[in-house]
Amino acid sequence: MRVISGSMKGLPLKAVPGTNTRPTTDKVKESIFNMIGPYFEGGVAVDLFAGSGNLGIEALSRGIDTCIFIEKDQKAMQTIGENLKKCRLEASSELYKIDASRAVKAFEKRSLQIDLLFVDPPYDKVLFYDFAKKIVEIGCMKDTGIIVCEHEKNVELASELGNFTLTRRETYGSTVISIYRKSIEEGN
């Protein structure tokens, strides 16, 4: 696992020890960023269920100003911290050891405006994708924001998350990437 492009290109990233997390492969990560970027002119990203921090670190390397990493597993938290330090990205990152439910409440409380949201929970936790819908409903996604969900091939996510619509769905082996953008109403 490595940073694929941007200011930290080529730096190796550490995976979380054990089998509790499933890192996004470099091939899938590169495809994600080709679909949504590939580069950014600032903005705020949230890596919900961050694991190793792989997706958020890639976003920072490609121009996102700040990334908020949410993870409740202690080994994963340590790995994210080590990866951020190795990439010298601590100053542009926020790292919280809390569950997604508490994180969403905190986003609402601080009126966070998210440009890029990664939702990649453990594959057996299908209901966790509802947190993306909740983030949209509480007004924490920017109108120009993008939601990226990674899930198993046999999981069919909703075609809409609030007023964000599924605009692209790509399959990579047993992994599927679903991308949502805000619906644009006719006449506006």
> pLDDT, tens digit, for every residue of 65-93?
999 999 999 999 999 999 999 999 999 99
pTM above 0.85, yes or no: yes
Quote the strand ranges of 26-174, DSSP E: 44-48, 66-70, 93-96, 114-119, 141-152, 160-161, 164-172
Q: How far from 19 is each of 15, 23, 123, 129, 186, CA to CA, in Å?
A: 10, 10, 13, 21, 47
Lowest model confidence (mean pLDDT) among 17-26, 52-61, 68-77: 17-26
**Which CATH number belongs to the domain containing residue 134 in this structure?**
3.40.50.150
56 in a domain, yes or no? Answer: yes
**134 burial via Cβ count (<10 Å: 0-12, 13-18, 19+):** middle
Cα gap 28→85, rounded to integer Å? 24
Instruction: Indicate the pLDDT class of residue 24, thresholds 50, 70 and 90.
Output: confident
6 in a domain, yes or no? Answer: no
Given this model, what pLDDT does residue 52 score? 93
Domain extent, residue 124, equals 26-182
57 in a domain, yes or no? Answer: yes
Mean pLDDT for the chain? 91
3 in a domain, yes or no? Answer: no
Give the number of domains in the chain.
1
Q: Which of 86, 15, 89 is nearest to 56 (CA)?
A: 89
Q: Dump pLDDT digits (tens) for 88-139.
A: 999 999 999 999 999 999 999 999 999 999 998 877 677 788 899 999 999 9
Instruction: Indicate the pLDDT class of residue 179, thresholds 50, 70 and 90.
Output: very high
Q: Are 146 and 115 in contact (CB under 8 A)?
A: yes
